[in-house]
Structure 1
Amino acid sequence: MMKIQAAVATAPATDLDIRDLELDSPRADEVTVRMVASGICHTDAIVRDQWYPTPLPAVLGHEGAGIVEAVGADVTDLKVGDKVVLAPASCGVCEHCISGHPQYCVEFYDLNFGGSRKDGSKMFSDNGAEISSNFFGQSSFASMTNVRARNAVKVDEDAPLDLLGPLGCGIMTGAGAVLNVLKPSPGESVVIFGTGAVGLSGMLAAIASGATTVIMVDIVQSRLDFAKELGATHVVNSKEVDPIEAVREITGGRGAMYALDTTGVPPVFSQMTKSLALRGHGVLVGAAKLGTEAPFDIGTLLTSGITVSMVIEGDAVPREFIPKLISLYKRGLFPFDKLVKHYDFSEINQAFADSENGTTIKPILRY
């Protein structure tokens, strides 16, 4: 056992409690990672609040980046001292994992939200009492954690770890939805609903792909102004105008060929489908409470030929996609660093609050 410090979620809508815990030894297929930084994601907040039933008390966090401190007996592709960005857990052997779609692993929910390793063991304890762990295979709200080597992505020695953690979830989700699923052609039109970290990451990816009409839709004017500064060609305040009519006017009556809904809000999802051009492609990445239903005007949509995809984690293969995003960032083509604000680990509850009230787009904790 090793003494570590972690932020523990104990009850819905309650501040996380920073505690001294014990961390067990890494299993044969795991590495121990000393955390350098971790992003805070909307999913951390909704699991804390039990939209998804991960057992509490729990150590959450799933946008971690750090340095390998110890290596399990069966690990051959990582060594002590390697810098890594952590990604969601997947089994590696099911039909979806082996076909290049690990985010749809048949064991995804259990491995990422179950609160323990597959064998039921938990890596954290508090004076002998087990604490739910292995959130997204990592539980990165801890000074040290154990992760399966499979979901640790090695990065270059000069990689800025205090910046890269969100590439493992929020940034990967928005950028991956655009680059891996929508795949807009140069010169095409893209509309994105929501100007949070996921939406703005999708916007940066759309610009990098060569899309020449990039429309951002939101109800917060300051966020829309920021999106325009980052390269959006058009912004639409849906509190002031009908976004469907606005998108069609911007696109010459055609509608956008590609669309992304990052909100998970049913009326917004409906707006996305109606903003698409004939045979357009829309993607939903926004999380909603289990059981949430959205209205579909199937009488109208049937003749539109549109495609609607449900996408998690950008349908990415992390060990392939995260290095690509880093490469785009280094070349100045994906400036996601403009979305982040850093906080000390002790300020974790303030960082959650700032994220929820919109003060900060993407908080990153430094350990």
Structure 2
Amino acid sequence: MTAQGTVLVTGAAGFIGAAVAEALMARGQPVIGIDNLGDYYSPALKQARVAQAEARGGGLFRFLRLNFADMDALTAALAPHPFDAIVHLGAQAGVRYSLDNPQAYVASNLAGHVNMLELARARAVRHMVYASSSSVYGGNTSLPFAVEDRTDHPISLYAATKRADELMSETYAHLFRLPLTGLRFFTVYGPWGRPDMAMWKFAERILQDRAIDVYNHGEMHRDFTYIDDVVAGVLACLDRPPADDGTVKAGGSAKPHALYNIGNHRSEHLMRLIAVLEDACGRKARLNLLPMQPGDVPATYADIAALTRATGYAPATRIEDGVPRFVAWFRDFTGL
């Protein structure tokens, strides 16, 4: 089941957004990509992703530098451009940064998400897939995290804004029968990844023979998910809007809103990841063992059964395969 209409992709200069845009174009779909090229991390890296998408798009990619938190600018810039679906991946990312700059999260993740819902409603799109986060599970200690688990105890502002996005989407699906799918991403890595994430930081410091900061004294587990698997899951969801039978049932409405975990369904010990990175980099890491950081959690692990049932999603990349691919790209990109 493959749709062929034009897709609006927000965060198109971001790690996942650029990869999704390229995958859509590879199957023949035109993409309108928007991004504000903000300086949370290197704008040059974002511009390089856009340049690659343009080079590979064969004329199917149109990029607009635009802040979707500005509704007037968003509406004006998109007025000439038809599209029938949205992949909304743009957001202010990062758990730790939300402690220092909460207003950035309010603008992008709250006001910006409402703007995208309003845009989807005005254009009557067939489906909007949007990014949530595994952070919504907060300090949940029941593993693996299931979509049905409680999410009312966020431990960072970033997590709170992502849960708010899910609730606002629930409301729009109910009131306006707008087909929406939220994806709770677990730690995504791979070529063209983000420099604020552990995979990039660890590789850079190992190759520079600098100590890496290892929080909770290494007693951390993460569901590391390779970018190609994530992109396959995003497109599979996009092609399958949630059903809406138009009725209101006991206990609520049969609204067209779905929520899924999108992860690797493997929770890796952080020290195991470091060992795989050491092998890929060809040198040992120097460790700076530190206590847990505020807003962080000791373990993440995705229950992906619901996504697999709905779409056939089947992540296939182990860290033993994905990490060396990332390191090879990273060395080529940085010259380290």
Under a length normalisation based on structure 1, what TM-score does the superposition of the two structures give? 0.32
Larger Rg: 1
Q: Which has the higher strand share?
A: 1
Q: 1 or 2, which has the higher helix percentage?
A: 2
Provide the TM-score with structure 2 as the length reference. Answer: 0.35
